Amino acid sequence: MSDQSLFDKYGGFSNISKVVMTFYDAVLDSDEIGPFFDDIDMGKMVDHQTKFIASLLGGPAAYTDNQLKTMHAKLDITHDHFDELLVILREALTTHGVDEDDILAVVAEYERRRGVIVG
């Protein structure tokens, strides 16, 4: 079972979407990063983030660095914003029973994209 992806280990899209819902509940409550989502269609955002996190877990979806850069280019995302997002992501993954080693792997994959997301 060691070749099983984290995507499969944690139940695929249905369970990842639960993590993403918990994630966005906290993001929207954040004074620092919540305002980025004031005029955003959250249904689409949850769908995109579910696919993105699924891709980080070895799932079927994928976003290129160029796509991520384009999606975030007009936003003034700072390293502090990104750091807070990582804290919230860790909390959401923990809430949904993701093992610490797997959380570290997901956070590391997110971190790899810092340079294309932070403006």
pLDDT (tens digit per residue) in 56-99: 899 988 888 899 999 899 999 999 999 999 999 999 999 999 99
Taking the C-alpha atoms of residue 97 and residue 109, their distance in angstroms, rounded to an integer, is: 19
Domains, the chain, with CATH or none: 6-117 (1.10.490.10)
Residues 6+ apart with CB under 8 A from 107: 86, 89, 90
At 6-37, the pLDDT tens digits run: 999 999 999 999 999 999 999 999 999 999 99
Burial of 49 (0-12, 13-18, 19+ CB in 10 A): buried
Q: Token digits for 21?
A: 């819902």
First to last CA, the chain: 40
